[in-house]
Amino acid sequence: MRRIRCVISDLGKVIIFFDNNIFFTKMADYCPFSKEEIRELTFTHMNLIETFDCGRITPVEFYNRVVRNLKARIDHDTFYSIYNDVFSPNPPVLKIMEKLKRNYRLVLFSNTDIMRYSFIKEKFPGIQIFDEYVLSYEVGFMKPHPQIYLEALKKARAKAEDCVFIDDREENIEVAVRLGINVIHFMPQTDLESDLREMGLSF
């Protein structure tokens, strides 16, 4: 029988919800594009977001490039107040993590950038219950790149088969499975506590 020693959890849409439509709607006040056009332009320039999430450009560079792409008239601080404030907590899942902490090592595993993560840490201090943090902007890779999973396993201090990974994206789950990690594909209907108990975890 497997013995789980570490719970590795995604952040966005698991512990904290986010809605980038909030950003698109607010940015429409500062540029000549509608919310829908801003959304489309964002997906067109997804490589820019990924570059920022991997820590390969600075916050100032990211701001300058987004403002140029959107032909926006907005100062640096206002831009980041809009860009960052798209999150809301998922208290039931955070409560589960608090219970798990008594018996298991906890690793937070997220694709994120330095500005959004700094904002989240300040606004939602409860996420600081984790033992370790594997953040794409620090590691230089994003899920589903296998390299960042190896970093997560290193921080877990456990073999793949002794870990459970929780994430909302199927492509991220698939890589974990290939590496031998136990997984829970987190969706709106997921009963996380029940799924964890079925894996033998206690609260």
Region 141-164: mean pLDDT is 98
The confidence score (pLDDT) of residue 1 equals 53
Please tell me the distance from the alpha carbon of residue 172 to that of residue 169, in angstroms, as a whole number. 5
Write out pLDDT tens, residues 53-68.
999 999 999 999 999 9
Angle between helices 35-44 and 20-27 (to 10 degrees): 120
Write out pLDDT tens, residues 68-106.
999 999 999 999 999 999 999 999 999 999 999 999 999
Please tell me the distance from the alpha carbon of residue 163 to that of residue 105, in angstroms, as a whole number. 9
* CATH class as words, domain 6-17+88-198: alpha beta
How much of the chain, in percent, has pLDDT values that exceed 70? 99
pLDDT at 3 over 70: yes
| pLDDT classification of 200: cutoffs 50, 70, 90 | very high
Q: Is the dihedral of CA 32, 34, 36, 38 positive or negative?
A: positive
Task: Tell me the H-state helices in the chain.
Answer: 20-27, 35-44, 46-53, 59-70, 76-84, 91-100, 114-123, 136-139, 146-156, 170-178, 192-198
* Segments making up each domain of the chain, as ranges: 6-17+88-198, 20-84
The confidence score (pLDDT) of residue 119 equals 98
pTM: 0.96
